[in-house]
Amino acid sequence: MKVAVVNLKPGQSPITIAINEMSKRKSPALVAFQSEARLLAEEAAGIVARYPDKVFSNLRDMIGKPYQDVKRFADSMYLPFDIMEDSRGAARIRVSDDVSYSVEELLGMLLKYAANLAEFHSKVTVKDAVISVPPYFGQAERKGLLAAAELAGINVVSLINEHSGAALQYGIDKNFSNESRHVIFYDMGSSSTYAALVYYSAYNAKEFGKTVSVNQFQVKDVRWDSELGGQNMELRLVEYFADEFNKQVGNGIDVRKYPKAMAKLKKQVKRTKEILSANTVAPISVESLYDDRDFRSTITREKFEELCGDLWDKSLLPVKELLKHSGLQTDDIYAVELIGGATRVPKLQVKLQEYFGRKDLDKHLDADEAIVLGAALLAANLSDGIKLNRKLGMVDGSSYSFIVELDGPDLSKYGATRLLLVPRMKKLPSKIFKSLNHSKDFEVSLAYDHEDLLPPGLSSPIFAQYAVSGLTDAAEKYSSRNLSSPIKTNLHFSLSRSGILSLDQAEAVIQISEWIEVAKRNLTVENTTSASLNVSVDVGTKNTSEQSNNGLDSDGGISNASNSSEPNTMDLGTERKLKKRTYKIPLKVQ
């Protein structure tokens, strides 16, 4: 976990990385409980080997997930957590006999720690934040993260997709007025991998009367594997060394059954993997791994690459899909920027170099800090208290496509009840409007468009349901009136900057035609000519919709559009005229 701070005080660097209590720029995303005390980050990391069942990690990978998916994930990672199912079908983690927390609550504790870190660093109160999320985060994950931030007392100005944060950091100090370019950002972190295609360009705009060039970027596409990351490589090493230790001990002992032993082994394996990124051979040493037995061994980089053999091909799938759907060739890509800690693994870099046919990949960004610095740039741009000297327009899009499904009496008579609402990569934020002919209450469901492209762990494509009421009552109220057209219902949706889709409001539109009595008016002869001249001038200078307002009164007389005196009129009685009236009636959405 990294925290960047936007400094508003003069004389300070506009954006800096907050340093934690151990003078580190990166803090472990851990929450622990020991003797009724809550430990966070570095303090929690200090007891993970002794109390692995009391130190909770990988919380971001659990947010918004159903219980069964969280349980499966924890077991696969040898996390000895006491996980139970709550009333929502989500996971809840028990920390003692009578105390348990939801994933949102635990993640909220981490976010509160991050806010305190930012406040200690900047010496001012921090209430607003921009939080980065992986592109595969669906509606439940994004809403869960916002709920966690609310529990921490943080106002989330916006969520930002991680690839957009990296793209901001990449482009903020560059000039694209002479050349547009396609750049791929490849990110393999601890638990996931994605590749994003970003197009950089420039356009001319007027600023203080001068023509200036403004840089911008647009995210064209993003593809991912949400279950492939550096942890998968570490697990291969864990399994390899666990087998080796079991053979040394014998007697049918399986170290995998002992959480403390596995916590110690996983901790040392992580260091071994890091050593292999710089050396061809790496040692591993774990004191008192099990039953007071020490474990020592070595492994070569070649063996490590062999153990992860199938992972290398999987690592290329996101970039292959990216180019396949974009229609671009590898030669069309200006740069391939690597971010994420796992991209330091030499074999992964070799596979990417071979696929793109390049001797070297691009490493202009800090693999660990590019995303958080980009998020800070967005925070600065959205803030009222700071002005950036460099400007970079950002156009990000929805990672998923969404549909709206309508359910109600007689709805099928009026056409399709399943409509595409948000195509994939639609601009964030956006407003969407749908209108349908219907006069009875109905239900609205929002769902992912493709069941084969759902967020991790999700089994049903539907993520939100609404009941629209008040329409039946409105239709009955006006049914005795002379309707000039069928009753319509307008639905107003919004896709927020954070990528969250919602139905904001609904209204019934009723048009009625009525005969009304209006007074007849006639002009005297002596004023006809001058009045006609006034009409001709109004008609010539107004558009059609304005003529009825500014040229002619609703009763057919001539308006007082000019400075000439009002013409004399004669009262000739009344006449009947047909008038259309439109009523917009708010409907209840719940």
Instruction: Tally Cβ neighbours within 10 Å of residue 475.
Output: 18
Q: Which domain holds residue 236?
A: 230-309
Q: What is the dihedral of CA 270, 271, 276, 278, to 10 degrees?
A: 130
3-state secondary structure of 6: strand
How many whole angstroms separate alpha carbon 535 and alpha carbon 565? 14
Q: Which of 266, 285, 309 delimits the end of a domain?
A: 309
DSSP 550: I
CATH number at residue 292: 3.90.640.10
Residue 254 inside a domain? The answer is yes
Kindly state whether residue 192 falls inside one of the protein's structural domains: no
Tokens for 60, please give them: 């971001």
Give the pLDDT confidence score for residue 576 in this predicted structure. 78
What is d(CA 292, CA 215) in angstroms, rounded to the nearest whole number? 62
Whether 469 is in a domain gets the answer yes
**How many Å apart are CA 284 and CA 268, to the nearest integer?**
7
- 21 domain-assigned: yes
Please provide the DSSP assignment of 532-568 as one string. HHHHHHHHHHS-HHHIIIIIB-TTS-B---SSSPPPP
Helix (H, G, I), strand (E, B) or coil at 285: strand
3-state secondary structure 161-205: EHHHHHHHHHHCCCCCCCCCEEEEEEEECCCCEEEEEEEEEEEEE
For residue 441, the model assigns a pLDDT of: 94
Phi-psi region of 209 (alpha: psi -120 to 50; beta: other; left: phi over 0): left
Is residue 291 a part of any domain in this protein?
A: yes
**In sequence order, what DSSP letters do the residues of 390-424 get, joined into one string?**
S-EEEE-B-SS-EEEEEE-TTGGGGS-SEEEEE-T
What pLDDT was estimated at residue 540? 38
**Is 479 within 8 Å of 487 (Cβ atoms)?**
no
pLDDT at position 391 is 82
For the whole model, what pTM was predicted?
Answer: 0.87
Which residue, 478, 511, 544, sits at the end of a domain? 511
Q: How far is CA 393 from CA 102, 112, 398, in A?
A: 38, 31, 17
Q: How far apart are CA 79 and CA 314, in angstroms?
A: 25
d(CA 345, CA 278): 9
Q: Which of 272, 275, 300 is nearest to 285 (CA)?
A: 272
Boundary-marking domain end, from 69, 92, 126: 126
Candidates 377, 454, 380; CA nearest to 164 is 377
Residue 263, helix vs strand vs coil: helix
- Report how far residue 149's alpha carbon sits from residue 112's, in angstroms, rounded to the nearest whole number: 8
Classify residue 110: in a domain, yes or no: yes
Smallest CA-to-CA distance from 222 within 295, 164, 267 is with 164
Could you give the number of structural domains in the chain? Answer: 3
3-state SS record for 8-22: CCCCCCCEEECCCCC
Give the domain CATH number at 433. Answer: 2.60.34.10
Q: Is residue 504 within 8 Å of residue 590, measured between CB atoms?
A: no
Instruction: Give pLDDT, residue 545.
Output: 38
In the prediction, which pLDDT does 467 show?
A: 97
* CATH number where 121 lies: 3.30.420.40
* 299 falls within a domain: yes
Tokens of 221: 């596409």
Q: Supply 335's token pair.
A: 């740069």
Angle at Cα 473 formed by Cα 462 and Cα 582, nearest 5°?
95
**pLDDT for position 554:** 37
409: phi then psi, degrees, rounded to nearest 5: -65, 130
φ, ψ (nearest 5 deg) of residue 404? -120, 135
Q: Which amino acid is at 272?
A: T
- Number of neighbours of residue 13 by Cβ within 10 angstroms: 7
- For position 232, what pLDDT does the model report? 96
**Token code pair at residue 467:** 């009941």
What does the pLDDT profile of the chain (590 residues) look like in tens digits?
999 999 877 777 889 999 999 999 999 999 999 988 999 999 999 999 999 999 999 999 999 999 999 999 999 999 999 999 999 999 999 999 899 999 999 999 999 999 999 999 988 888 899 999 999 999 999 999 999 999 999 999 999 999 999 999 999 999 999 999 999 999 999 999 999 999 999 998 888 888 888 999 999 999 999 999 999 999 999 999 999 999 999 888 999 999 999 999 999 999 999 999 999 999 999 999 999 999 999 999 999 999 999 999 999 999 999 999 999 999 999 999 999 999 999 999 999 999 999 998 988 899 899 999 999 999 988 887 676 777 899 999 999 999 999 999 888 776 778 999 999 999 999 999 999 998 899 999 999 998 888 998 888 899 999 999 999 999 999 888 888 888 999 999 999 999 999 999 999 999 988 777 778 766 554 444 443 333 333 333 334 333 334 333 333 333 333 444 445 556 667 787 888 888 899 999 99
570 burial type by CB count under 10 A (0-12 exposed, 13-18 middle, 19+ buried): exposed
Q: Which residues pair with 140 in a beta bridge?
A: none
Q: Report if residue 86 sits inside a domain.
A: yes
* Rounded Cα distance, 45 and 565, in Å: 88
Instruction: From residue 194, give the alpha-carbon distance in Å to each of 222, 254, 343, 458.
Output: 7, 35, 11, 19
What does DSSP assign to residue 568? P
